[in-house]
Amino acid sequence: MTVTKDQMKAIEKQANDRGLPYLQMMENAGTAAFRLLTQRLPGLRTAAVFCGSGNNGGDGFVLARLLREMGAEVLLILAGEQPRTPDAVTNFYRALMLDIPLVTAALLTEEDLAFILQADAVVDAVYGTGFHGDLPLEAGICAGVMAKAKGLRLALDLPSGLECDTGIAAPDTPRADLTAAFHACKPCHTLAPDLCGEVVVLDIGIRL
């Protein structure tokens, strides 16, 4: 099954209206991505998680929290401003309560860069299905750093810089080794397979 961004938005609203809150869907998405990542890298010890200000970033905060609770060393990198959607804000503070180190893309130090480049996994949770156009400056910085990382690159729902419905990619869109598609595949997964890598559809609890 493949759904467009508008169809996915309607599916999520219907699920919320039927008793599965958006916040729980975010928790389910981050948890499913965590399970996928740790299954692929059972010895994972270090991870860099790049998060945007929307709900895709919120999924990343959930994943970062679970990795930290597992005992992994995690670095959170914000691609610009702090989270702005209510559920992303909630999960941002849940992650910070675990004292996960946090830095913004514009203030990455040499030590931060060294950690990211050598991390076991790099998670792309900057932009989700709503993205279109070009990557802003700090998101572009994140994309450039992710592209150079040696670890497994996991994209949450789709690589940041890729348009969900058209498969059109911004020039700096980072290539994923593995993409966690939440609930269903999106058109871009087949339109831009070279950027998405292996696509795995993950159950986030939606029953319609």
For the segment 21-47, the average pLDDT, to the nearest whole number, is 98
Residue 160: φ, ψ to 5°: -70, 130
Q: Token digits for 202? A: 């993950």
Is the pLDDT reported for residue 57 higher than 90? yes
Q: What is the pLDDT of residues 103-140, one digit of tens each?
A: 999 999 999 999 999 999 999 999 999 999 999 999 99
For the segment 154-173, the average pLDDT, to the nearest whole number, is 97
The answer to whether the CB of 19 falls within 8 A of the CB of 200 is no
Residue 179: φ, ψ to 5°: -120, 125
DSSP per residue over 38-106, as a string?
Answer: HHH-TT--EEEEEE-SSHHHHHHHHHHHHHHHHT-EEEEEESSSPP-SHHHHHHHHHHHTTT--EEEGG
Q: So what's the pLDDT on residue 191?
A: 98
**Tell me, what amino acid is at 116?**
I
Q: So what's the pLDDT on residue 81?
A: 85
Is the pLDDT reported for residue 208 higher than 90? no
pLDDT band of residue 14 (cuts 50, 70, 90) is: very high
SS3 state at 23: helix
Q: What ranges do the domains of the chain cover?
A: 5-13+22-137+150-175+182-197
Q: How is domain 5-13+22-137+150-175+182-197 classified at the CATH fold level?
A: Rossmann fold (3.40.50)
The neighbour count for residue 86, using CB atoms within 10 Å, is: 11
- List of residues 6+ apart from 135 with CB closer than 8 A: 127, 143, 160, 161, 170, 171, 172, 173
CA–CA distance, 78 with 83 (Å, rounded to integer): 9
Is the pLDDT reported for residue 66 higher than 90? yes
Strand partners, 199: 179
Q: What is the pLDDT of residues 176-197, one digit of tens each?
A: 999 999 999 999 999 999 999 9
Is the pLDDT reported for residue 63 higher than 90? yes
For the segment 13-26, the average pLDDT, to the nearest whole number, is 97
Mean pLDDT of the chain: 97
